[in-house]
Amino acid sequence: MTPQKKHRLTFLLYSFLSLSLAVVLLLFALKDNLMYFYTPSEVVPLHSFYDKKIRLGGMVKKDSIRQDTGIQDTFFTVCDEKSEIKIHYKGVLPDLFREGQGVVTEGKLTSANIFEAQKVLAKHDENYMPPEVAKSLNKPHKELASQSLERPNPNSR
């Protein structure tokens, strides 16, 4: 092996090791910040989720919201087609939060099978439009409709 090839091989080896070390350090540093999204049917049968920070998503079950407005303490149930989990949240709920609506919560599952949420994110469907935008879009259509309904009076010539 010529000295030039040996130098090139050494450079590539050190580059690969440096890059590998950087990736390992980055993953180790981000380990606590990585959260995966789970549904109730994925969480319920497993005890390995206890006291681990995860994201839990599903639909808010009908007639499951119990709220104490004095201390902003809320209990509700998140379900999917197979399972459901009780959620406990202290704080102000998002405006879009309601029964039958999609929700994503971030928190930890306790040994009592109650999910203690630190964050609640309400989801809306893809057809959502703020009321102001919907009103402004409907206004030109109403004006056009009223103009097309007005017929000229034949006697007004």
Question: Which residues carry a binding-site annotation?
Answer: 124, 128
Closest residue by Cα to residue 38 from 51, 50, 27, 49: 49
Q: Residue 41: in which H helix or E strand, if any?
A: helix 40-43
Return binding residues for heme. Answer: 124, 128
How far, in Å, CA of 133 to CA of 137, rounded?
A: 6
Closest residue by Cα to residue 115 from 78, 80, 81: 78
The residues, any chain, with a CB within 8 Å of residue 52's CB and separated by 6 or more, are 108, 109
The amino acid present at 100, given as its one-letter code, is G
Residue found under tokens 């950087």? 22
How far, in Å, CA of 27 to CA of 139, rounded?
A: 52
